[in-house]
Chain A
Amino acid sequence: MSKYFKHKIHNSHDNLFCKEYILTLAINGNELTKPPPIGEFVYELSVNIIKVKTSSRDTMRIIISILFFYKKLVIPSLAMAIAVGFLEWLLTEQFSLKTVGYTYILASMYFHYLIYEKRNPGEYYFYYNMGLCKSILWGTSLFLSLIIGLFLVIIWVICK
């Protein structure tokens, strides 16, 4: 029986990419929870393969999806942050990357809410189907925004 399983997996195209599987054995469509009875019976055997570990290609696809998800927020957030920076320059005659950085973090969270929660909530389903949930998407947005925002602040601190 194990040879049979092995054979099936090696014939599977996905084996090229995936590292681990859970197998379930079914007889006449009924999933088995214990070994089948020994004897001469006529069975319709089927093997269901549940992929449990993601491949490196899957991981890459998820990372790229998150970057595409975030890409939509970058331009409006940066535009707002620069606009606030210039406003500060007009008022105080000092352009501060620190303001731009902090504004970017807040603006990106605002645009995340505006673009994905209000304008295109349906787009979440694309990412849900890839195994990403809303909290992961919000968390990643915040994380990437912090990196970009704080990078701008650090540059300002170094240059100062």
Chain B
Amino acid sequence: MQVESVMKSFGTKHVLTDVFLSCRPGEIIGLLGKNGTGKSTLLKIIFGSLSADQKFIKIGHKIIRGLLNNRNLVNYLPQNHFLPNHIKVSTIIYLFCDKRNASLIKANDLIKPMLNKKSKQLSGGEKRILEILLVLHSNVRYILIDEPFNGIDPIYKEDIKNLIKEQSINKGFIITDHDYRNILDIATRIILMHDGGTKVILKNDELKIWGYIP
């Protein structure tokens, strides 16, 4: 996946001015940056749910112009809950995943007790775990994840990190989270968003230099 020349402004505020990013299956790109630097905006633009002033996104030889081009290629886990609250969990799993992945998720000990509940009956943490499992097991080439560890109990964070590593064998990941340590643990490459652009971080000390960590 190649992401080039992404520009996005909200009114007079230029959020993204000079974004270049690439990701290959097998890679986990950790996207870091202070609040308001445009991490979520960038993920939404790559996914196609938000239009950009200018962008060039290519997957393989296919140029991605919007959501319709992304079908079966890119999935996105947004920051906020996205499951329809009127559908039963088992039906959501059936709709979201192929047969094999649906069976894997249904067999998960955390998910089993939820299967007959509707999504609105789940707690925030339960919903988040289900959403993460659905997106991670989806049959696509690239997965964009926005704050996956938000609202997740510490005990499950390691499981999720392991699952992301496991799934990254065949898929490319771009992950952003405010807890940078989780990202540093799993990322194969770190990219810092700064002043509307992207900086490749080779050593963790560079995060201090760019003023991201104290």
Closest to A120 in B: B85
Q: Are A130 and B87 in contact (CB under 8 A)?
A: no
Q: Residue B94 at the A interface, CB < 8 A?
A: yes
Known: A24-B60, A48-B25. Is A128-B47 also a contact (CB below 8 A)?
yes
Q: How far is the CB of B148 from chain A (nearest CB, A)?
A: 14
User: What's the tally of chain A residues with a CB closer than 8 Å to chain B?
Assistant: 33
A48-B141, A123-B83 known; A133+B68 contact, CB < 8 A: yes
Residue of A126, A129, A131 touching B68 (CB-CB under 8 A) = A131
Taking the nearest CB of chain A, how far is it from the CB of B125, in angstroms? 16
Whether the Cβ atoms of B76 and A128 lie closer than 8 Å is yes
How many chain B residues touch A (CB < 8 A): the figure is 40
The smallest beta-carbon distance between A139 and chain B, in angstroms, is: 13
Contact of A29 among B26, B83, B87, B135 (CB under 8 A): B26
Whether, in the assembled complex, A19 has its beta carbon less than 8 Å from a beta carbon of chain B, the answer is: no
Which of A66-74, A86-94, A101-109 forms part of the interface with chain B? A66-74
Query: Given A65-B95, A120-B85, does the pair A128, B49 have CB atoms closer than 8 Å?
Result: yes
Of B48, B49, B138, B139, the contact of A14 (CB 8 Å cutoff): B139
**Complex: A32 Cα to B2 Cα, angstroms:** 15
* Distance, CA A38 to CA B129, complexed state (A): 48
The answer to whether A122 touches B81 (Cβ under 8 A) is: yes
The answer to whether the Cβ of A64 comes within 8 Å of any Cβ in the partner chain is: yes
Question: Which residues of A lie under 8 Å from residue B86 when comparing CB positions?
Answer: 68, 71-72
> Do B49 and A131 touch across chains, with their CB atoms under 8 A apart?
no
- Closest B residue, CB atoms, query A55: B98
- Interface contact B96-A129, CB-CB below 8 Å: yes
Residue of A nearest to B135 (CB): A129
Known contacts A50-B73, A133-B68; decide if A122 and B78 are in contact (CB<8 Å). yes
Determine if B82 is an interface residue (Cβ-Cβ < 8 Å). yes
What residues of B have a CB within 8 angstroms of the CB of A31 in the complex? 60
- Across the interface, A52 reaches (CB within 8 A) one of B72, B80, B87, namely B72
CA distance A21 to B67 in the complex (A): 20
Which A residue's beta carbon lies closest to that of B69?
A131
Indicate whether A118 reaches chain B with its CB closer than 8 angstroms. no
B residues in contact with A65, CB < 8 Å = 95
Minimum CB–CB distance from B58 to chain A (whole Å) comes to 11
In this assembly, does A51 line the interface, its C-beta being within 8 Å of a C-beta of chain B?
Answer: yes
A103 to chain B, nearest CB (A): 23
Q: Let me know if B66 is at the binding interface, CB within 8 A.
A: yes
Contact: A50 with B68, CB < 8 Å?
no
User: How far is B59's CA from A22's CA once the two chains are assembled, in angstroms?
Assistant: 12
Residues on A with C-beta less than 8 A from B87 are: 68
Contact with B along A120-140 (1 / 0, CB 8 A): 101111101111110000000
Closest CB pairs A-B (n = 3): A131-B71, A125-B82, A133-B67
Interface contacts beyond A33-B61, A68-B84, A129-B75: sample of 9 additional A-B pairs, CB < 8 Å, sorted by A: A13-B100, A48-B25, A68-B86, A122-B78, A123-B82, A125-B76, A126-B92, A128-B49, A133-B68
Chosen A-B contacts, 28 in total, with CB atoms closer than 8 Å, are A13-B98, A14-B98, A14-B139, A17-B99, A29-B26, A48-B60, A50-B72, A50-B73, A57-B99, A65-B95, A68-B95, A69-B84, A72-B86, A120-B84, A122-B78, A122-B80, A122-B82, A123-B84, A123-B85, A126-B82, A128-B47, A128-B49, A128-B67, A129-B76, A129-B82, A129-B135, A131-B71, A133-B67
